A and B are shown apart, each in its own frame.
Chain A
Amino acid sequence: MNDRAPIEVRPVVNESGLEVQPLYTAADVEASGGLEMLGQPGEYPFTRGIHPLMYRKQPWTMRQYAGFGNPHETNQRFKYLIANGQTGLNVAFDLPTQIGLDSDDPMAEGEVGRVGMAIDTLRDVEIAFDGIDLSRITVSLTINGAAAILIAMYLAMAEKRGYDVTKLRGTCQNDILKEFIGRGTWIFPVEPSIRLVGDTIEYCARHAPKYSPVSVCGYHIRESGATPAQEMAYAFCIARAYADDVIRRGLDVDEFAGRLSYNFNIFGNLFEQICKFRAGRSLWAQIMKEEYKAKKPGSMWLRMIAGGGGGGLTFEQPELNIVRGAYYALISALSGAQTMALCSYDEAYTIPTEYSARISLRTMQILIEEMGLTETVDPLGGSFYVETMTNRMRDLMKEIIADVDAQGGIVQLIADGTIQARVSEQAYRMQRDIESGAFPKVGVNCYRNEHEEDHKVEFHPYREEDARLQIESLARVRAERDEAQVSRALARVAADARAGVNLMPAIVEAVKAYASVGEITREMVQVFGRYREPIRF
């Protein structure tokens, strides 16, 4: 049999562009750089996890995205999710709130409370979190353009309820640079937008040191068409842009880096995802240690929420998305994420109903209770394939970062639309590959049902009535507040925006006077102007 020719196999390249071999051995690990970057869990460079015991000590936080209608309804959904075992909240805001418009703004018509909860003033935040123990349940605010205002409202609400804000934990997404690439809830031009992120980081470092003011998102960059390696590399470039802004203000890296966190996407090849996370964890540690001279291990930790992304789910045969979600959760657990959220199976149809949100929650609970995922740290560590691919993904991310730096840096490449054009070109090619069948997608280009019957997806209802109630509630707050106090506070926001000092103290004063999201945003727009999209193909 020795004279037989070797079996020819079709070459396979993963989405990031790396070749996948049919077999890996110790020699491949060695050729890719060996186990130099592996280390132990809880030790630099943290490839195997940021804590020594990981889930053995505490399982990941379960934080499904939720919010709709007015604050009363959202408060009920929060309580429902907590009663079902959810351990954190991930707050969805409606689009007017996200881009700094009040519910009674003409541009907000038809959008109030539609894709998230409407927030106009501090009163709404008080209602939304009423009866929820903020020392037990950590809250993540998914807001970016108006993040400084919502962080101020959240801290003011907690303070009013008697919590010590120097001990308060929680997270705000507050990653505006990725909004210019995907998601699109920008308000101000690029430079003042970065300044505002820097203001929140600086303010929290001094006044709410346990609060995580920014969660840098690779997630939406991936949704917009980036490869897994680009997702992580671009997110690191963005995090460096924020860190540079804060360091220029005179803060030491160890004063704030420990509160930076990340939000990443999961869909596609299972091993590519796991290696992406292991590679990224050690690369971020290396960047913080070598480039930023961080001393505290916490400053080097890549803390992340990693969940199943909408980009992997399908409109066709939506119930298959429950299966995909389970694999995405498995990937997240095998990758050592701190927090997990899954897009619900009805993602392509509607915002999650109670039913679909519960299925996502139960998916994660099955992994914890039945599958042994919390018992052993980094169970894939030492696999020839996983270690080789982790090394290769890390090298690739380094190349992408070096390339961005050589082209003028991430801020410039986002401001002039280069990154947007690059990822949308990739998204187009991927869509063509899915339509031609070159990139298989079950239920879409293969294994389609012969008769696509009407899918039994229950829609989350949108009630116009909720928008009317929200507008009435805003009018009542305006009638009851001290207008002179509001005017003084708003004037200070404008003055501080012009003076270039940290805007957070002025914003905190304004929200405590019950100034609205729209009113505060307007003051800033008068100074900063509005962003204009560079449209490039």
Chain B
Amino acid sequence: MSSTSVARAAQPRASERRIRVLLAKPGLDGHDQGAKVVARAMMDAGFEVIYTGLRQTPEAVARMSLDEDVDVIALSSLAGSHLPFCRKLKTLLEANGLTDKLWLIGGNLPAQDHDELRALGFTGIFPTGSKLDAIVDYIRENVR
């Protein structure tokens, strides 16, 4: 079910390594306007964005993160199933040795869920109302 088609939004120049971001739509949520807007902001910032499209499983997100050798794993969730998804994804990212990557999540994320998301390792939390530049700046400052 998971789409394997990915968009390489920008080609890296040979001389320098750009920040590579996997931007995924977890679960069954179909709201992708926000994810696509964030993808464009990241492309404008010079990042290489691999946008997964809709309906990604935790397994698919972990596999693509590994295969694409990304620096940042970003999720966009608006239909409320972020906690069960992130709990599963955390285990898989750890099992694949991806704990040194930057994990981000944005979307419809009630304030009462932020502590658990942070504890799971999603250090960048960008609820509705966050600015595009705030997301871009956070990645620039925190990517390892």
Contacts and interface: CB of A to CB of B under 8 A. Distances in A.
A391 interface: no
Contacts of A99: 28, 55
A428 B41 contact: yes
A115 B57 CA distance: 18
A490 B92 CA distance: 37
A309 interface: no
Interface string A260-281: 0000000000000000000000
B33 A315 contact: no
Given A432-B132, A537-B9, A184 B30 contact: yes
B45 interface: no
B138 to A, nearest CB: 15
A95 B28 CA distance: 6
A110 B87 CA distance: 11
A444 B41 CA distance: 19
Interface residues of A, number: 45
A431 B39 contact: no
A365 B128 CA distance: 30
B37 A427 contact: yes
Contacts of A223: 33
Interface stretch (B13-21, B76-84, B95-103): B76-84
A322 B110 CA distance: 20
A79 B85 CA distance: 33
A200 interface: no
Contact of A431 (B3, B54, B132): B132
Contacts of B29: 95, 184
A535 B7 contact: yes
Main secondary structure of the interface of A (DSSP, over half): loop
Interface in A485-537: 530, 532-537
A185 to B, nearest CB: 5
Contacts of A108: 28
A351 B79 CA distance: 9
A198 B125 CA distance: 44
Contact of A428 (B31, B37, B54): B37
28 contacts: A107-B1, A107-B55, A110-B85, A111-B79, A114-B81, A115-B80, A182-B32, A182-B33, A183-B31, A184-B54, A225-B33, A315-B128, A348-B108, A349-B108, A349-B110, A424-B36, A424-B40, A427-B33, A428-B36, A428-B40, A435-B131, A435-B133, A462-B80, A532-B5, A533-B3, A534-B5, A535-B3, A537-B9
Given A99-B28, A115-B79, A537-B39, 12 more contacts: A108-B28, A110-B81, A111-B27, A183-B30, A184-B30, A184-B31, A349-B108, A428-B41, A435-B132, A444-B129, A535-B3, A535-B7
Interface of B: 1, 3, 5-7, 9, 27-33, 36-37, 39-41, 43, 51, 53-55, 57, 79-81, 84-85, 108, 110-111, 127-129, 131-133
